[in-house]
Structure 1
Amino acid sequence: MSKTLSFACVHFSVAFLVGYLMTGSVWVGGALALVEPACNTVAFHFHEKIWKRIERRRAAASPGALAT
């Protein structure tokens, strides 16, 4: 859990820094630091669901799957 929290802090910091450096606005940097990671989290959820489906299909199609 510590690694996850650490990465979240890095992610928020990078999002803030990029927004701030591009605009010079603390408000825009702050908004980006909140919105971008939230959108990325939702996208990652669907990414994982799709990959699990792909892995299940691959496992079902493999020759070893017929024996189980």
Structure 2
Amino acid sequence: MAKTASFAAVHFTVAFGVGYALTGSAVVGGALALVEPACNTLAYHLHEKVWKRIEARRALHPAAASAPLRL
């Protein structure tokens, strides 16, 4: 849990830093620090679902594992 918390702190800090560096606004930096990690979390969840489907297909058809990936 400590590793997860430290990664979250780094993620929020980077999002804030980039927003602040690009705009000079602490408000924009703060908004990015809240919104971007939330969007990234949703994207990661969807990414994992897609990969689970790919892995399930590969388990059913082992020969397809060496074939090019088609989405």
Query: Does TM, normalized by the shorter one, top 0.5?
Result: yes
Q: What is aligned with 2:61?
A: 61
Q: Which has the larger radius of gyration?
A: 1
Structure 2 residue ranges without an equivalent (≥5): 64-71
May I ask how many residue pairs the two structures share in their alignment? Answer: 63
CA distance in structure 1 between the aligned counterparts of 2:9 and 2:25, rounded to whole angstroms: 20
RMSD between superposed Cα atoms in Å: 0.9
How far is 1:34 from its partner? Answer: 0.2
Q: List structure 1 runs of 4+ shifted beyond 2 angstroms.
A: none
Q: What is aligned with 1:43?
A: 43
How far is 1:39 from its partner? Answer: 0.4
How far is 1:12 from its partner? Answer: 0.3
TM-score (norm 2): 0.85
